[in-house]
A and B are shown apart, each in its own frame.
Chain A
Amino acid sequence: MYQRERERERERDYREEMARSTGKDAQALFHSLRSAYAATPTTLKIIDLYMGFAVFTALIQVVYMAIVGSFPFNSFLSGVLSCVGTAILAVCLRIQVNKDNKEFKDLPPERAFADFVLCNLVLHLVIMNFLG
């Protein structure tokens, strides 16, 4: 009986320690990520910010649809897909512009940017047509 109490106590201590360590580990992970991110070049940060802006806009539109229902469904789709599409194009641009990426070493970043602009214009034409 005394032995079982001790066992239980040991278990409790063990769990506390695990929790604390996972908490500490998460914090450590987060810190390391932040510091690593700070090292990225500004251009890439701009693209990341743009992506975040696009995704956030999409989220707001989804929340609106959840509230009022999807009556002009084409409009909803057009809005969400424009955000998502431009985010994807931004991802493509980031991949092509990133100097650490060996595949696109020979591609000048201006060319990638020109592609990005062109694809965005086409995407937005289609979006405007579908908006209704």
Chain B
Amino acid sequence: MVNDGTFYFDEKLVNMREQQGPLATTSSVVRGLTAFSSVITESLNLTGDKILGIAKFFLGIGIPGDTKNFFDQVDSLACLENNRVSIPLILSLPSTVISLTKKDSLKVKVNTVLGSHAPPLTVTLVRAFSSSARDNSIIENQELKFDPQDAVYFLDDLPASFDVGEYIFVFKMLVQDSEQQTVYATGTLTQVPIYVTGLIKIENAKIAVLDSDLGSVETQKKLDLAGESTVSVSANHLQKLRLSFQMSTPLGNAFKPHQAFLRLRHETKVEHTFVVGSSGKKFEITLDFLGLVEKFFYLSGRYDIQLTVGDAVMENSLLRDIGYVELDLPEPPENASRPPPQPVDPYTRYGPKAEITHIFRAPEKRPPQELSLAFLVLTILPLFGFIIGLLRLGVNLKNFPTSAVPATFAVIFHLGIAAVLLLYVLFWLKLDLFTTLKTLCFLGVFLMVVGHRTLSHLASASAKLKSA
């Protein structure tokens, strides 16, 4: 039997090929038990507590991930729902949080394991005590009223002495019909943890800058922690910063929250967190900058002040930037520790970077077009000079062959040379080397054939002249 009231069977591992967990083992026991009890005429001698424990085990394991386990669970619960030994009745609360501000009432439901209606019962709140003070019970033996519409048992007014905090409520249920008491298993006592929440009063909040030596107040400003306003103070390393406020429960008692932190965050995102100490209702923290200079890494500048006050039962927990303090710290010495590097926003590190625009090489300075054209003309001029010189020399075209065949060959020879030169011009303008070379092959072969013919004709002619 486990402490939380559940009861289950487990199997000892004795060299079996297939090991069954507690769920499968317990469910097979339940199946056998309920099947057996349905066929025998006498009643089995089993206490209701054990049946209730088994029922609580099946209800407490949640939803098993395995289909076989899930079947075992639901099947066992179905067996328990209507068995001949005793039917377990489960007490549950739809909400374990009672809000004092909303004036909630305590509601309790009693059902069978699969959620069907229970017979008429008397549900009694035996004890209610704070989890911190277990001996002191606030409520004793309070019977809950039944609401037939919602089928819940409720307690309308909690006594006025209920303050915020964590409590444990102990319930007992009893079947009203005494004959049916053996049919159902109600167990003895059920313990339920309850949270009672409410609004915590925070008042008298002040922030002050004190002179370190004398402790006198230099600046003091009131804080409105419930509102949205911010304050700004300034201090140097010789002063102290003090934040103080008072907290009390709705009933006026002292309240110690789970979290009361003061956080100073620098512009460079370096943070320092301090715990706000308390004595009774008064909460106060004093930051002595003289001692904290090294902890702050000698970083001067603007620090955002953030106050966090929170608790599970506090309905108005706060996490708020209450302002900023301009801190003037001395220069860091040579061996001062550097502040830790702050985490970089992953989007700036892994996100798209700034687009790089390629800066093309600035084009070279070209001469003005007129100059280039002038020199082009100037370059062509010597060609004309050559032609004029040729004419002056009296170049003779007399040796040009006049008879038909050699003449055509001569003409074709000159045309061939012109064609090759034209090909070169085209090559410069747009052709590539490969097509040029291909065309050149053909033209070259043609030219060589024609040239050979022409020149050999000329050679034979001059040879004839020489011999003659």
Q: Is A98 an interface residue (CB 8 A)?
A: no
Contact B379 A110 (CB under 8 A): no
CB distance from B279 to the nearest CB of A (A): 87
Chain B contacts of A131 at CB under 8 A? 428
Chain A contacts of B390 at CB under 8 A? 46, 49
Among listed A16-24, A26-34, A66-74, interface-contacting one: A66-74
Interface size bucket, B side?
35 or more
Q: Which residue of A lies closest to B452 (CB)?
A: A114
Q: Is A105 an interface residue (CB 8 A)?
A: no
Chain A contacts of B458 at CB under 8 A? 110
Q: 8 Å CB contacts to A: which residues of B179-227? A: none
Among listed B5-13, B22-30, B353-361, B381-389, interface-contacting one: B381-389
Chain A contacts of B425 at CB under 8 A? 128
Contact B440 A57 (CB under 8 A): no
Tally of chain A residues near chain B (CB < 8 A): 30
Given A53-B386, A68-B367, the answer on whether A60 and B427 have CB atoms closer than 8 Å is no
Q: 8 Å CB contacts to B: which residues of A36-86? A: 42, 45-46, 49-50, 52-53, 56-57, 60-61, 64, 67-69, 71
Contact B371 A61 (CB under 8 A): no
- A77-121 vs B, Cβ < 8 Å mask (1 yes, 0 no): 000000000000000000000000000000011110110011001
Q: Which residue of A lies closest to B379 (CB)?
A: A60
Given A60-B375, A110-B459, the answer on whether A50 and B424 have CB atoms closer than 8 Å is no
Q: Is B275 an interface residue (CB 8 A)?
A: no
Chain B contacts of A68 at CB under 8 A? 366-367, 371-372
CB distance from B349 to the nearest CB of A (A): 45
Contact B366 A49 (CB under 8 A): no
Contact A117 B393 (CB under 8 A): no
Alpha-carbon distance A49/B390, docked complex (angstroms): 8
Contact B421 A124 (CB under 8 A): yes
Chain B contacts of A129 at CB under 8 A? 427, 433
Contact B393 A49 (CB under 8 A): yes
Contact A42 B386 (CB under 8 A): no
Alpha-carbon distance A99/B211, docked complex (angstroms): 119
Q: Which residue of B lies closest to A124 (CB)?
A: B424
Contact A42 B371 (CB under 8 A): no
Alpha-carbon distance A117/B433, docked complex (angstroms): 21
- B431-458 vs A, Cβ < 8 Å mask (1 yes, 0 no): 0010010001000100010011001101
Contact A60 B378 (CB under 8 A): yes
Q: Is B394 an interface residue (CB 8 A)?
A: yes
Alpha-carbon distance A128/B424, docked complex (angstroms): 7
Given A57-B379, A64-B375, the answer on whether A125 and B394 have CB atoms closer than 8 Å is no
Q: Which residue of A lies closest to B437 (CB)?
A: A125
Q: Is B364 an interface residue (CB 8 A)?
A: yes
Contact B371 A67 (CB under 8 A): yes
Q: Which residue of A lies closest to B424 (CB)?
A: A128
Chain B contacts of A124 at CB under 8 A? 421, 424
Q: Is B464 an interface residue (CB 8 A)?
A: no
Alpha-carbon distance A34/B187, docked complex (angstroms): 145
Alpha-carbon distance A125/B434, docked complex (angstroms): 12
Q: Is B16 an interface residue (CB 8 A)?
A: no
Contact A46 B420 (CB under 8 A): no
Contact B393 A42 (CB under 8 A): yes
Contact A53 B455 (CB under 8 A): no
Contact B382 A125 (CB under 8 A): no
Chain B contacts of A46 at CB under 8 A? 390, 393, 395
Write the residues of chain A forming the contact surface with B, with a CB cutoff of 8 angstroms: 42, 45-46, 49-50, 52-53, 56-57, 60-61, 64, 67-69, 71, 108-111, 113-114, 117-118, 121, 124-125, 128-129, 131
CB-CB nearest 10 A-B residue pairs: A68-B367, A53-B386, A110-B455, A110-B459, A71-B364, A64-B375, A56-B382, A49-B389, A128-B424, A53-B382
CB<8 Å pairs between A and B, sample of 19? A42-B393, A46-B390, A49-B386, A49-B390, A49-B393, A57-B379, A60-B375, A61-B379, A64-B375, A64-B378, A68-B366, A110-B458, A110-B459, A111-B459, A114-B451, A114-B452, A121-B444, A125-B436, A128-B425
Told that A53-B383, A117-B417, A131-B428 touch, could you supply 11 new A-B pairs with CB distance under 8 A?
Answer: A49-B393, A60-B375, A60-B381, A60-B382, A69-B365, A69-B367, A109-B462, A110-B462, A128-B424, A128-B428, A129-B433
